[in-house]
């Protein structure tokens, strides 16, 4: 496999703060590589260096065998495109947004029209050309941002938490597009993600990053199999817990993750294990719900993060769980810090890592 990007001992400092510390990484042409790490681990900075938007403070960045310098970065940028975590669209039509990069490349008008149409079809936004970009839903905005990058057919595509602020339906659609683009256009994709399930299923390889250092790179099977304990203690990803599993008489598994929290799963596991529950699979309620779900915990909201259309809540039930709900639900339920709530999820939502 050809090496597209080679990073050697890369460092990046902002003033006195070291954000990247000796990063060495090779990215193969045609692969999807996931960067998994907590907030502040350096993922976004690394993506920006790969996108030639930031210059490293030290070390070497090679793209297609050529060392990236201040002088050739502008030329190199034509070979890559980055989609930011926070969706940013120009204050104009969807068409003009998607066409922007093609206009920068001085493509003929007719070709621009064709390519924009194809890109919008790929992200399932046919007919949206004349719509104002400022009047789209969150999911539509993210898809326009992706179309705007995909239309350029660059060798390298960088995605910063591409589905973080999306509901499950839009997230799934976007993941499908990412997989299609990689498969059909052979685009090399590097994506930063918090989503363990996404990191397990979508990429060819996973790189774990924390405190500005990459401490493990491998296939998803290598990373999630061998390193399950360190991955869970990574605290990189929401709702990953390490504990001791015991198979019950009923055939399910109880995983004791500490502090009185015991998670029931439909897995068959015994001994030390790590589990993950997607924030989207957890239901939040103010009152105890009677349901078939095996996992019911009472706790307090200890953190609230506004993600635009969605709100991310951290609920402490003895262990912190991340839950994602719509903004509408958040205001209708009159939720706030220190409010007591119940979190509920099915045993089948619990995944082993």
Partner 1 sequence: MNQVLDGIVKALQLIFSGDPTVYGIVYRSLLFSGIATIIAVLWGTPIAMLLGLRDFHGKSILKGLFNALIGMPTVALGLILLLILSKDGPLGFLGILYTPAAIILGEAVLVTPLVVSITTTAIEAVDPEMMNLAKTLGASESQASIAVLKEAMNGVILSDIASFNRATAELGVALLVGGNIAGLTDVLTTDISKYTQRGDFSYAIALAIILLVIVFGINLIIVSARKVKILLTLGGMPQ
Contact 43, 160 (CB under 8 A): yes
By beta-carbon proximity to partner 1, the closer residue of 40 and 260 is 40
By beta-carbon proximity to partner 1, the closer residue of 49 and 245 is 49
Residues linked to residue 325 through DSSP beta bridges, in sequence order: 311
125 is written with which tokens?
């936004």
Q: How far is the CB of 82 from partner 1 (least distance, A)?
A: 4
- How many whole angstroms separate alpha carbon 93 and alpha carbon 99? 10
By beta-carbon proximity to partner 1, the closer residue of 88 and 289 is 88
**DSSP labels, 205-272:** EEEEEETTEEEEEEEHHHHHHHTHHHHHHTT-STTEEEEEEEE-TTS-EEEEEETTEEEEESS---EE
Q: What is the CA radius of gyration of the chain?
A: 22
Q: How far is the CB of 151 from partner 1 (least distance, A)?
A: 9
Burial status of residue 288 (CB atoms within 10 A of its CB: 0-12, 13-18, 19 or more):
exposed
- How many whole angstroms separate alpha carbon 344 and alpha carbon 282? 6
Question: Residue holding tokens 């999807």?
Answer: 32
What are the residues binding partner 1 (CB under 8 A)?
48, 51, 53, 74, 77-78, 80-82, 84, 86, 88, 90-93, 96, 100-101, 103-105, 148-149, 152
> 248: Cβ–Cβ under 8 A, 6 or more apart, which residues?
254, 264
The candidate with the shortest Cα–Cα distance to 151, out of 180, 120, 190, is 120
- How many whole angstroms separate alpha carbon 272 and alpha carbon 26? 32
For residue 184, the 8-state DSSP code is H
The candidate with the shortest Cα–Cα distance to 148, out of 101, 86, 203, is 101
By beta-carbon proximity to partner 1, the closer residue of 54 and 238 is 54
257 is written with which tokens?
């993750």
By beta-carbon proximity to partner 1, the closer residue of 27 and 255 is 27
**Widest pairwise Cα distance in the chain:** 69
Q: How far is the CB of 218 from partner 1 (least distance, A)?
A: 28
**Which CA distances in Å does 18 have to 45, 57, 128, 181?**
11, 9, 43, 34
Q: How far is the CB of 145 from partner 1 (least distance, A)?
A: 9
By beta-carbon proximity to partner 1, the closer residue of 73 and 304 is 73
Question: Residue holding tokens 């200890």?
Answer: 302
Q: How far is the CB of 48 from partner 1 (least distance, A)?
A: 7
For residue 40, the 8-state DSSP code is T
Q: How far is the CB of 7 from partner 1 (least distance, A)?
A: 18
- How many whole angstroms separate alpha carbon 4 and alpha carbon 203? 16
By beta-carbon proximity to partner 1, the closer residue of 46 and 343 is 46
């Amino acid at each position: 496999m050809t090496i597209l990007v080679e990073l050697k001992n890369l460092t990046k400092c902002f003033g006195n703060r070291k954000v990247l510390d000796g990063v060495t990484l090779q990215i193969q042409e045609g692969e999807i590589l996931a960067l998994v790490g907590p907030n502040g681990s350096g993922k976004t900075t690394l993506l920006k260096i790969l996108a030639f938007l930031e210059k490293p403070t030290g070390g070497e960045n090679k793209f297609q065998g050529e060392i990236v310098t201040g002088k050739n970065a502008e030329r190199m940028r034509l070979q890559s495109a980055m989609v930011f975590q926070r969706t940013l669209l120009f204050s104009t039509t969807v068409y003009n947004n998607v066409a922007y990069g093609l206009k920068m490349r001085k493509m003929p008008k007719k070709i621009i029209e064709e390519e924009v149409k194809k890109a919008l079809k790929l992200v399932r936004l046919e007919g949206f050309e004349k719509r104002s970009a400022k009047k789209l839903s969150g999911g539509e905005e993210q898809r326009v941002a992706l179309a705007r990058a995909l239309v350029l057919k660059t060798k390298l595509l960088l995605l910063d938490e591409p589905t973080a602020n999306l509901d499950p339906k839009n997230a799934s659609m976007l993941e499908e597009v990412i997989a299609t683009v990689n498969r059909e256009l052979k685009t090399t994709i590097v994506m930063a993600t918090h989503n363990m399930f996404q990191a397990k299923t979508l990429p060819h390889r996973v790189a774990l990053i924390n405190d500005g250092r990459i401490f493990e790179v491998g296939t998803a099977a290598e990373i999630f199999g061998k390193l399950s304990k360190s991955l869970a203690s990574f605290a990189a990803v929401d709702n990953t817990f390490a504990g001791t599993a015991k198979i019950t008489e009923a055939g399910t598994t109880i995983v004791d993750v500490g502090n009185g929290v015991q998670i029931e799963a439909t897995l068959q596991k015994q001994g030390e294990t790590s589990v993950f529950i997607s924030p989207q699979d957890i239901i939040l309620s103010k009152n105890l719900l009677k349901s078939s779900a095996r996992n019911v915990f009472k706790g307090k909201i200890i953190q609230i993060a506004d993600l635009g259309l969605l709100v991310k809540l951290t609920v402490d039930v003895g262990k912190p769980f991340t839950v994602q709900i719509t903004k509408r639900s958040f205001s209708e339920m009159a939720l706030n810090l220190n409010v007591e709530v119940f979190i509920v999820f099915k045993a089948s939502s619990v995944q082993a890592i």
